[in-house]
Amino acid sequence: MPAQLLERRSALTTLRAAVDAALGGAGSVALLTGEAGIGKTSVVRQLLAEVDPAVRVLSGGCDDLIAPAPLAPLREAVANHGGPLAAALAAPHPSNAPSAGAYPLVAVLPAMLAELRGAPATLLVVEDIHWADEATIDVLVYTARRIGSLPAVLLLTMRDDVDDAHPVHRLLGSLTAAPVVRVALAALSAAAVARMAAGTGHDGAALHALTGGNPFFVSESLASDGSAAPGAVRDAVRARCRRLAPACQEALAQLCVVPRAVGVDLAAILLGPQALAALAEAEQNGVIEVRPDGLAFRHELARRAIEADLPELRRRLLHRRVLAALRAESSPDRGRLVHHAVAGDDPATVVAVGPSAARAAAAAGSHREALVLLESVLPYRDRLGSAESAALLDDYGWELYNAHRFHEAVRVGEQAADEYAALGDEPARGRCLIRVSRHQFMAGETDAAERTAGEAVRILDNRADDAAAAHALLYQGAILALTDDFARAVAALESARKRAGRAGRTDLDTLCLNYLGIARIEVGDAGGLAMLRQSVDMAREDGLLEYVARGYTNLGEMLFRMGALAETAGCVHAGLAFAEEHGFWSHAYNLRVHHLLVELRRGNWDHAEPGLRALAQRQTHPDMLYVYSVPWYARLRARRGDPAAAPLLAQAWDRARRGRLLLGTAYAGLACLEWAWLTNDRQRADEVAAELLPRLAHPGAAPFRAEAVRYLVRLGVSVDPVSSPVTDAAGTRASDLVVTQAYAAGAGGDWATAAAQWATHGDPYEQALELTDSPDADTVAGGLRMLDGLGAVAAADLVRGRLRDRGARVPRGARRGTRANPAHLTERQLLVLSQLSAGRTNAEIAADLVLSVRTVDHHVAAIFDKLGVRTRQEAAAAARALGIGPASATPEAPHRPA
């Protein structure tokens, strides 16, 4: 008998309120979580039984397959409803998209929104999203961000022990921007378990202790014959099944190897009439249920318990019987075929079906599943023909790339290229090398990427395949544009655009425009910004969503370089939301870096530091992006007087030199020059400048060169003037001059003009540095106060030391600032730590200090970072050990409004 639905009324009330709100036009996401067996499905069923008849219910579930079918739960939800989503899902999609920028879900996403607008209210249930495929996650993320304006509830169920690497966490992260109702199901109380055990002869208290109050465990233990330990699910299920007739047990064994429901037709084929009839006993005893979609075990835990009890040989044979039955269907699901072929040890079927199933998954956007399917084929690659084997490796390398396993992608892609070469198939080798070049670039192997792209161009440029030649020229031009051969980049990209036009490949033309914009800026044409913006618009119009994200990334980099902080902030805000929504991880990484750099420039160091630290310390970031985040994180730590910045900066400079990307080299080199100035290391400055300045001699690098010159002048190094700035076609000066002129004024000794320009620009650190060059003591003191307020310990120490050397009066630093404690906390951070150590919440601290809760959140994160702790208790203990905190923080009372 099914478990009684006890202690779930509160959860049901919450979910029904969400549905009622949807009837009023206010949509939401309802997230129902809990451990396996806690009763999530039971709550969903009861909700559906109680829901207002005016609400349309769509319901689907995710399957526990080795590679779940793309969008399967959504297909199930609308299978018999028609409508826009069913039509979009039924539309064919080519198995080989013409470009990496093409987004397979471009028609599904708007169809999903149209589906949810098409009734007074819709309750869309997707169960077990911890088994969801990547394409389904994409659609759910997109929908969740827009659900608030829809008359719909998106009810998702999931276990609360999902692996950290699963893409479902991207969905969970997106819920911060959505109206969300969270319902976490708790275990049953001892009283509820006692009610369930009443009249069974079992001791309720003992049963609660053994089962932990898990409803499924309790019900299975109660249904056992008493010979199994009540808390052992497998033993309890075995005990329940032992009471069934042998024919029924045989039928259950066959069904248990099929995840989720088994259609009645498939069950009839697998079991035959007599065995199928024998299952009635299992239904009567609550082992299986008859659902609209077929026969299913009452709970997945029961199915797994029975399957785990099967001998290995028997399990394989049962999977092969399922495989034979599926093959007899007119259009069997290829993912299910591979699942049972792998479990049944049937290499012939794995090899016959796996590659096409992987291509179909990739075409639908389920790259994680495509990777799993390809990996299931790899052990049997010797059964493929030579051309098929090379193609399999080529596809596998591409899916490793999509999984951000770039070094593995390089190795596999190079192996595929070698196999094509052995076959004498040069066109296929050339197309493969285009991919390999991208793998190498993302792995930080820029020299190899340039050589590989050049080889692809050599192979493909004189052939009739304009599309392939355009693709090769595009990637060659992109690498040249991002390193320092800008004239060749322009030539390659313009040639690529011509070939793309002849081939009718607007996707390649769009990406060419993106990198051509970069190259144009580097040679001094500010019109390149317009090209970048145009490429974003074109990509969006054509549904090339990866190219949209890439366009935002490259545009944000250029705007930040030019010092257009407001424009950069707007660009990265829009781009980051877009990249995260569509799962473009590496672009999101880059955009998040530049969001934090804007905050750093604006003086919001306590916000920028923990964010940069989190990015810099990620174990999974692409090598080429390491030199974007780490130099800035180390640079900020250096400004705050942390000697640990030195090895970080040295490593970043070394990796930037090897990677050769202009942006990475500039970021790392400038950070090293600032460190050299802060530590008075003239030799280090000379070494870095000797390599850095030649890379910054072109017009597009004028802001970088101006900054480098400013630090070298502070060290007493004589440097050539900055290069010509970027201008547009009419000769109008670009916005980079705001930054370039400010640095140039300071380098020329005009600290007052420089300080005024930095004040207008909104960079308090640079403004403070220029003020401390003033001969006026009060002006210097003002600059020092600004440095102290930022927590710029190293520069403040340098200025005070300079004043002491001159015999001038040295303004005293803040008594409770970063100089007053060994952890270098700012005054504000000391005050927050004082209240944190007293046990106050962030909301309470915010109210007392007249700050926003978000600002307090940033202060707490910075405190944790500086103290090297993870919890509030550890922070309080560290403060006491260091002699700081409540006793050492006695600032003036904050001003409160009347």
The answer on pLDDT for 653 being more than 60 is: yes
Q: What is the pLDDT of residue 802?
A: 86
Spell out the residues 6+ positions from residue 13 whose beta carbon is closer than 8 angstroms to its own. none
Query: Is 550 in a helix, a strand, or coil?
Result: helix
CB 761 within 8 A of CB 743: no
The answer on pLDDT for 323 being more than 80 is: yes
**CA–CA dist 286, 261 (Å, integer):** 15
The answer for 291, left when phi > 0, alpha when psi is -120 to 50, beta otherwise, is: beta
* Mean pLDDT in residue range 141-155: 95
The H helix count followed by the E strand count for the chain is 45, 7
Q: What is the pLDDT of residue 827?
A: 65
Confidence band (pLDDT; 50, 70, 90) for 727?
Answer: low
The answer on pLDDT for 795 being more than 80 is: yes
**CA–CA dist 461, 645 (Å, integer):** 47
Q: What is the pLDDT of residue 261?
A: 86
The answer on pLDDT for 823 being more than 70 is: no
Q: Which CATH architecture has domain 9-186?
A: 3-Layer(aba) Sandwich (3.40)
725 vs 381: which has the higher pLDDT: 381
Encode pLDDT of 751-764 as tens digits.
999 999 999 999 99
65, 192, 215, 361 from 204: Cα distances, Å: 37, 9, 13, 49
Q: What class is the 820-882 domain?
A: mainly alpha
CB 208 within 8 A of CB 6: no
> Helices in 640-750 by DSSP H: which ranges?
645-659, 662-678, 682-695, 702-714, 736-747
The answer on pLDDT for 550 being more than 70 is: yes
Confidence band (pLDDT; 50, 70, 90) for 729?
Answer: very low
Buried residues in 66-95 as b, exposed as e (16+ CB within 10 A) = bbbbbbbbbbbbbeeeeebbbebbeeebee
> What one-character-per-residue DSSP string does 740-761 give?
HHHHHHHHTT-HHHHHHHHHHH
Query: Is 143 in a helix, a strand, or coil?
Result: helix
Confidence band (pLDDT; 50, 70, 90) for 734?
Answer: very low
- Average pLDDT of the chain is 87
CB 453 within 8 A of CB 479: yes
CA Rg value for the chain = 32
Determine which of 141-145, 560-564, 837-841 has the lowest per-residue pLDDT on average: 837-841
Structure token digits, residue 734: 């670009």
* Amino acid symbol at 465: D
Confidence band (pLDDT; 50, 70, 90) for 709?
Answer: very high
* Amino acid symbol at 881: A
Determine which of 286-300, 624-638, 865-879 has the lowest per-residue pLDDT on average: 865-879
- Write out 807-870 in H/E/C secondary structure: CCCCCCCCCCCHHHCCCCCCHHHHHHHHHHHCCCCHHHHHHHHCCCHHHHHHHHHHHHHHHCCC
CB atoms within 10 A of CB 326: 21
> What one-character-per-residue DSSP string does 481-519 give?
HHTT-HHHHHHHHHHHHHHHHHHT-HHHHHHHHHHHHHH
CB atoms within 10 A of CB 827: 19
Q: What is the pLDDT of residue 9?
A: 94
Encode pLDDT of 425-483 as tens digits.
999 999 999 999 999 998 889 999 999 999 999 999 988 899 999 999 999 999 999 99
Query: Is 307 in a helix, a strand, or coil?
Result: helix
Q: What is the pLDDT of residue 118?
A: 84
Phi, psi for 597 (deg, rounded to 5): -70, -35
* Mean pLDDT in residue range 780-802: 92
Confidence band (pLDDT; 50, 70, 90) for 813?
Answer: low
Q: What is the pLDDT of residue 97?
A: 43
CB 77 within 8 A of CB 126: yes
Encode pLDDT of 65-94 as tens digits.
999 889 999 999 999 888 999 999 988 654
**CA–CA dist 162, 423 (Å, integer):** 44
The answer on pLDDT for 325 being more than 50 is: yes
The answer on pLDDT for 294 being more than 90 is: no
The answer on pLDDT for 365 being more than 90 is: no
Confidence band (pLDDT; 50, 70, 90) for 841?
Answer: confident
Nearest to 458 by CA among 498, 426, 423: 426
CB 714 within 8 A of CB 679: no
The answer on pLDDT for 232 being more than 70 is: no
The answer on pLDDT for 108 being more than 60 is: yes
**Structural domain spans, the chain:** 9-186, 737-819, 820-882
* Mean pLDDT in residue range 40-55: 94
List, in sequence order, every residue forming a beta bridge with 294; answer none if it has no partner: 291
**CA–CA dist 676, 686 (Å, integer):** 9
